[in-house]
A and B are shown apart, each in its own frame.
Chain A
Amino acid sequence: MNNYLPLSIISLGILAFATLMLVIAPGIEMARPEPPAGLRPYTAEEQRGRDVYVSMGCLYCHSQQPRAPEQAPDGERGWGRPSVSADYFYDSPHQLGTMRTGPDLLNVGARLPSESWHLTHLYQPRAIFDWSIMPAYPFLFEVKAKAEEGDVVVALPPGFAPAEGVVVASQEALDLTAYLLSLDRTYPAPEDGIRDDGYRPRGDAE
Chain B
Amino acid sequence: MTADRRPQRDPRHPDEHFEPYELDASIPWPLLGIAVALGVWGAATLFDTRRHEERAQVERIEDTRLATGQAVEPGHALFEASCATCHQSNGLGIRRAVPPLAGSPFVQHGPELVANIMLRGIDGPIRVNDALYDGHMPSFASVFTDVEVAELASYVAARWGENDRVLEAAEAAELRGRVSDLGSFRGGAGVAEDTGLALGDQPPFASGTLQPVAPEISALIFEGRGGQWSCASCHGDLGQGRENTPRLAGLPADYIRKQLHDFAAGRRLNESMAVVVAELTDEEKQALGAYYSGLRVPSNARPDLGGDLERGEQLAREGDWSLTVPSCFSCHGPSGFGVAPEFPPLAAQHAAYTASQLAAWAGGQRTNSSLDLMEHISSALSAADRRSVADYLASLPPVPAGTGDTLAAQGEDR
Q: Do chains A and B touch in the complex (CB under 8 A)?
A: yes
Binding site for B on A (CB under 8 A): 68-69, 73, 75-78, 80-81, 107, 110-117, 120, 127-130, 155-158, 160-161, 186, 188-189, 191, 195, 197-203, 205-206
Binding site for A on B (CB under 8 A): 49, 52-53, 55-57, 59-61, 63-65, 67-68, 224, 226-230, 233-234, 236, 242-245, 271-272, 275, 278, 304-308, 311, 351-353, 355-356, 359, 382-384, 386-387, 390
User: Whose C-beta in chain A lies nearest to the C-beta of B68?
Assistant: A188
- Count contacts between A and B, CB distance < 8 Å: 130
List 5 other contacts, CB 8 Å, given A117-B233, A199-B53, A200-B52: A76-B386, A78-B243, A112-B234, A120-B227, A155-B228
Interface centre among A160, A161, A188, A205 (most CB of B within 10 A): A188
Q: How far is the CA of A173 from the CA of B400 in the complex (A)?
A: 41
A-side contacts of B308, CB under 8 Å: 202-203
The answer, among A120, A195, A206, for a CB contact under 8 Å with B382, is A206
- The reply to whether B245 and A116 contact each other, CB–CB distance below 8 Å, is no
- The reply to whether A191 and B61 contact each other, CB–CB distance below 8 Å, is yes
Interface of chain A, main secondary structure: loop
- Shortest CB distance B197–A (Å): 38
- The reply to whether B304 and A186 contact each other, CB–CB distance below 8 Å, is yes
Q: How far is the CA of A200 from the CA of B53 in the complex (A)?
A: 8
Interface of chain B, main secondary structure: helix
- Shortest CB distance B57–A (Å): 6
B-side contacts of A69, CB under 8 Å: 305-306, 383-384, 387
- Shortest CB distance A81–B (Å): 6
The answer, among B57, B244, B307, for a CB contact under 8 Å with A78, is B244
- The reply to whether B226 and A155 contact each other, CB–CB distance below 8 Å, is yes
User: Whose C-beta in chain A lies nearest to the C-beta of B351?
Assistant: A75
- The reply to whether B311 and A203 contact each other, CB–CB distance below 8 Å, is yes
- The reply to whether A120 and B229 contact each other, CB–CB distance below 8 Å, is yes
- The reply to whether A77 and B356 contact each other, CB–CB distance below 8 Å, is yes
- The reply to whether A128 and B306 contact each other, CB–CB distance below 8 Å, is no
B-side contacts of A203, CB under 8 Å: 308, 311
- The reply to whether A188 and B229 contact each other, CB–CB distance below 8 Å, is no
- The reply to whether B245 and A78 contact each other, CB–CB distance below 8 Å, is yes
- Shortest CB distance B322–A (Å): 12
- The reply to whether B353 and A81 contact each other, CB–CB distance below 8 Å, is no
A-side contacts of B49, CB under 8 Å: 199
- The reply to whether B233 and A110 contact each other, CB–CB distance below 8 Å, is no
